[in-house]
Homo-oligomer: A and B are copies of this chain.
Amino acid sequence: MASSSYSNNSPCAACKFLRRKCMSDCIFSPYFPPEEPHKFVNVHKIFGASNVSKILNEVLPHQREDAVNSLAYEAEARIKDPVYGCVGAISVLQRQVLRLQKELDAANADLIRYSACSETPTTHHGGSGFYYPWNNHG
C-alpha cells in the first residue's frame, strides 16, 4: 500500500530530499523530477520547501511550471551571487538598455543630418563588412 502511494516508481526530487513519501497528490512531483535533484535543492536552500509549496498553491495549475522555473532561476542566481542574485542581471540589462538607447539616439541624430542633405532616400549600395565603431562597443 505504501509503495502504491508514490506518484511514480521513484519519489520526486523534493520528497526524496525531504525524506518523505511522495503521494499521488504531491504538489512538487510534476515539477521536480527525480532526474533533476539540484532544481529542488536550490529552491529549498533559497526559498524553503514550505514557501515554494505556498507559492504553488497560490497560482493556477497551468501557471505552476512557469512559477517553478522562475523560482529555480532566482534560486540559482542567488546561489551564484549571494549579494545581488538575479537583481544583478536586471542591473546589467538596464545598463545595456541605456547604452543601446544612447547609441540609437546618436545613430538617429546622424541620420537626421544625412537626410537633411539628401531629399530622396538613396538605394542600397552594399556596405557589408564596413566598420562602424558603434557595432563594436563593449
Asked whether A23 is an interface residue with its Cβ less than 8 Å from the other chain, the reply is no
Interface residue range, chain A? 35 or more
Asked whether A10 is an interface residue with its Cβ less than 8 Å from the other chain, the reply is no
Contact between A132 and B111 (Cβ–Cβ < 8 Å)? yes
Bound: A63/B124 CA distance, A: 53
A positions within 8 Å CB-CB of B: 45-48, 50-51, 55, 58-59, 63, 66-67, 70-71, 73-74, 78, 82-90, 93-94, 96-97, 100-101, 103-104, 107-118, 121-127, 130, 132, 134-135
In the assembled complex, 9 residue pairs joining A and B whose CB atoms fall closer than 8 Å, in A order, are: A47-B47, A47-B51, A70-B87, A73-B87, A90-B93, A109-B124, A116-B122, A117-B122, A117-B125
